[in-house]
Amino acid sequence: MTRLIKTTASGPEAGGLAGLGVVAAAAAIRNGDISSESYTAALLQRARMHSDLNAFITIDEAAALAAARDADKARAAGSTAPLLGVPLAVKDSYLTQGLHTTLGVRNLEGFVPDEDADVVGAIKDAGSIVFGKNNLVELSYGLTGNNSPYGQVKNPHNRDHISGGSSSGSGASVAARIVPAALGGDTVGSIRVPASLCGVVGFKPTTGRWPRNGVAPISHTLDTTGVLARNVEDCALIDHIVTKAEATAPSGRSDLKGVRFAYAPRQYLDLVEPDIEAHFKETVRRLRDAGAEIVEVDLGEGFSSLAETATWNIFFHETMEALSDFLRRHNVPATFDEIYNGLKPGLKEAWAQVVLPSGPGYVSADTYEAALTVDRSEIQRRFHEAFSGSGTEALLFPTTPCTAPMIEHQSKFLIAGQEVSDLALARHTVPTSAAGLPGISIPTGLSTNGLPIGLEMDGAHGRDRRLLDLARRVEAAAGALSSPV
C-alpha cells in the first residue's frame, strides 16, 4: 500500500538509468551526461512498475520532479554538490519536512513534520532529493517486513519471501533498483538483515557516529542510523557526507594482501542452514585466494546467549521512555498510549508483556543496569580481545543464518532442522549492536533456492573508514550483487 502523490508527468523507460549507483549517478549529473529530472522520472516509473513490493508508504512524484528540476538549474549555475540531483529513499522512521512521516503506524498517516531529521538534512545539504518514504515494520519493531496498516514488504528476488526488517522497504527498493540507496536504521540488525536477505550492501556505523536526532527511537543505547546501497563505494560516500569526516582516500587496492581477518565458527556457524555454511566457507577460500590471511578465533563460552540476553534487556527496557520523549520533543501528534493502543494485535501483546512497566516480562531497573554496565562491557571486552589477540582488523560471518523465509512462515520456520522464531534472523547481528561496533553486510551470491546470501564484516570501534575500505576490497574479491528484476 503506497500513498503515491501523483503527477501527470511520465518518464522514460528506466533502462540503464535505474542501474546507476549513487557515485555513478552523481558523476553523470555533474558531468551533464544525464539530467536529474530524467533520472528521477525513470526511477519514478520503476517505482510504479514495482509498486506490488510495498517498498514505499509515500512518494510525492510532483515534489521529487520539482526538486530534480531545481537540481538541474543549480548544476547549470555551477553547483558541484556531491549528491546533486541524486534521489535517495528514506525509512519512514525519519522526520522529513513537508512529507508524510508515519513511523509505520496508522495513527500518524496524516502527520507532516515541519523539520528534517539531521541525516536527512545532511543529504539534502549535499544536493540529494528525497525520493520517498520507505515502508518499515511498525515503529521498527520487527525483522520480517510485515506491516499491518501499510502492507507486507516483499523480497524482489521472490515475492513469496520476506524482505527482512525493520528497514524492509529500504532493502527492497534498493534491490529492485527503484533508488540507488536508502537511509535505514539498525538497533539489533535492522539494516544488515534486510541487506542480506535482499542482496544489497547495508552499513551500520559505530553506534553514535551518525546523528540520530529526528529519527523515531527504540533504544538510545543501541539505535544507529545508516544506509543501504548497491555497492560499498556508495555507502562510503554517504558516510563521508553525513559525518563530515575528514576525507580519506581509499587504498586504491583491490587485492587483500597483508590483510588479516578473523572468523568465529563456534559462535557464528553453530546454527546455520547448510547452504549458508557452505557458501561462507567458499567465500573465505576466495578471500584467501585474493591474499587475505583468515584465522579462527573464539569469543568465549556463552557469548551468543550473553549478547542476546543483554541486548534484548536493554532494547525492551528503553523503548517506552525513548519513544515517549521523541514524540514530545518533535511535536508528533500522538501520545505513547495512543500509538500503543493502535498497534497490531501481536505487537500490542508483545509490548504488554515486555515494554510496559506493568508487563510480566518487563525488565527491572537492576537487570537493565547489569545488562548496560556489566554484560555489555563484557561483550565489548571479548570483541576487543579477539581483534587484538589475533591481530585482525575485521570479523567475518554469515549476516543471517538462513536466506529469506517465506511470508506465510515468517513467524516460525526451520534453520538446519530446528524450529526458530523470526528473532533468529538477528542472531548474528545482535552482538555487533550490543558492542556498538561498525558492521557492513555485502552480498556474495545466491543460495540454491535463488535467494541472496550476505557476508558481514565487523570492525573495531570507531574504525568505520578502514572497515569501508576493507569491505570495498572484499567486494571486489567475493561480492556478487545480482539484479532480481
Active-site annotation holder among 35, 36, 91, 170: 91
Helix (H) or strand (E) holding 234: helix 232-243
- Residue 91 designated active-site: yes
CB-based contact 387:393 (threshold 8 Å): yes
**Phi and psi for 327 in degrees, rounded to 5?**
-60, -40
CB-based contact 261:293 (threshold 8 Å): yes
Count of other CB atoms within 10 angstroms of residue 226:
29
**Phi and psi for 387 in degrees, rounded to 5?**
-70, -50
**Phi and psi for 417 in degrees, rounded to 5?**
80, 0
Active-site annotation holder among 166, 173, 219, 433: 166
Q: How far is CA 81 from CA 72, 116, 241, 258, 431, in A?
A: 12, 19, 10, 36, 37
- Our separate counts of H helices and E strands in the chain read 16, 16
The residue behind cell 528473532 is: 423
CB-based contact 227:184 (threshold 8 Å): yes
To the nearest 10 degrees (0 to 180), the angle between helices 22-30 and 232-243 is: 70
- Residue 51 designated active-site: no
Per this entry, what is the length of the chain?
A: 485
- Residue 251 designated active-site: no
Active-site annotation holder among 140, 168, 190, 441: 190
CB-based contact 134:89 (threshold 8 Å): yes
The residue behind cell 587496492 is: 253
Count of other CB atoms within 10 angstroms of residue 187:
27
Cα angle 393-397-401, degrees, rounded to a multiple of 5: 160
Q: So which residues are the catalytic ones?
A: 91, 166, 190
